[in-house]
Amino acid sequence: MLQHLYVPIEDVEKLERVVQKLGYGSYSTIWLARDESSNEFVAIKICTADPNPHEFDVLSNLSSPQLSGNSPGRSMVPLILDSFQIQGPNGTHTCYVTSPARMSLSDAKDGSYIRLFKLEVARVLAAQLAVAVEYIHTQGLAHGDLHSGNVLIQLPSGFNEMSDEELYKIYGEPESEVVTRFDGEELSPCIPSRAIIPVWLGEASEELQPSDAKIILSDFGEAFSPAKQDKFDPLFEGFLAKEDDMTCEHADALGILPPEWWNKWDARHKKFSEDGKPINRESYRSLEDRFEDSVQQPRRAEKMPPFEPAERDALLSMLRSMLSFRPESRPSAKEVLASEWMVKWALPEYEKAQKS
């Protein structure tokens, strides 16, 4: 708990023009506020009491006006519009102002019973993600924590025209809950006395339209410079899964590991013949099987068009190359943008959405 020293709500309420809470993470709370000069909504990220938040440094560098101004990827990273500090009982909280967002992709799915996007929207989102990642790579950075909770959707145009009263009428006023201890003891002064529940500005994934599907790639807390630092993560991790089970899943989906790794994996004999055929198993799912039961079948069940075979094959071919076991065999973001699926399906859909 001591590393996660949040700001007391009273200190947030002292900030002028904070109107709602947008979200929270392990290292911050994020608030919707109105910029006094432009009258537009902004997001204020208030970090936990950490004298030197890594993300702030990264985003400050990315926001530098010297960096290529008109690259489309630049509009998809949260540029810092302003920054200040709050002193609280836990120490100094760095606060920075960025564009506000409506929801993350995972929020949009959680807000839906069917958890699917329109095919056009999925293409537009994937194209922008590749553009954004390629942009940050050109700035010498790797994001380090790409997942659907960190891809945010921008607020719809027209949101800024809303008055605070209209905002509260449509989305509700801030609701808070008193913070108590399980053992009934007094809270220490470093724990906020109340917590505000984040507002829901989002909509169900299937309702999102291509023209509204504009992303902001957020959470640069794990970003790093590959030229200065190596970082290794497994392609997939499982919650509570054993390492051998995860390795088996990798080999089922993507084929056997490179020989020098395969030969070191002793448990392979229990699950595979020496030439990599699955043995002693009732179920075994290749990448194509997983795509069929996790993407195509749910789409058909909800009467949403599935991927046509030519597009599916191009998409799987791009994904398979991105999931190569050896990092050096994986395409760069630039090469991903040049893949058949991007060129024939995703990027044209993105261009169409920009014009509409």
Contacts with ligand ATP, residue ranges (CB under 6 A): 22-28, 30, 43, 78, 98, 100-101, 104, 149, 152, 218-219, 221
Smallest gap from Cβ 155 to ligand ATP, in A, equals 8
User: Closer CB to ligand ATP, residue 59 or residue 253?
Assistant: 59
Report the residue count for the chain: 356
User: Closer CB to ligand ATP, residue 25 or residue 156?
Assistant: 25
Smallest gap from Cβ 3 to ligand ATP, in A, equals 12
228 is in an annotated binding site: no
Smallest gap from Cβ 139 to ligand ATP, in A, equals 19
CA–CA dist 45, 87 (Å, integer): 15
User: Closer CB to ligand ATP, residue 47 or residue 315?
Assistant: 47
CA–CA dist 62, 331 (Å, integer): 24
User: Closer CB to ligand ATP, residue 76 or residue 101?
Assistant: 101
User: Closer CB to ligand ATP, residue 223 or residue 346?
Assistant: 223
User: Closer CB to ligand ATP, residue 28 or residue 90?
Assistant: 28
Smallest gap from Cβ 168 to ligand ATP, in A, equals 17
Give the Å distances, CA to CA, from 5 to 27, 54, 89, 302.
8, 16, 9, 44
Smallest gap from Cβ 81 to ligand ATP, in A, equals 11
Smallest gap from Cβ 303 to ligand ATP, in A, equals 30
Residue 311 has phi, psi (to 5 degrees) of -70, -40
Annotated binding-site members = 45
Please give the annotated binding residues for ATP, written as ranges. Answer: 45
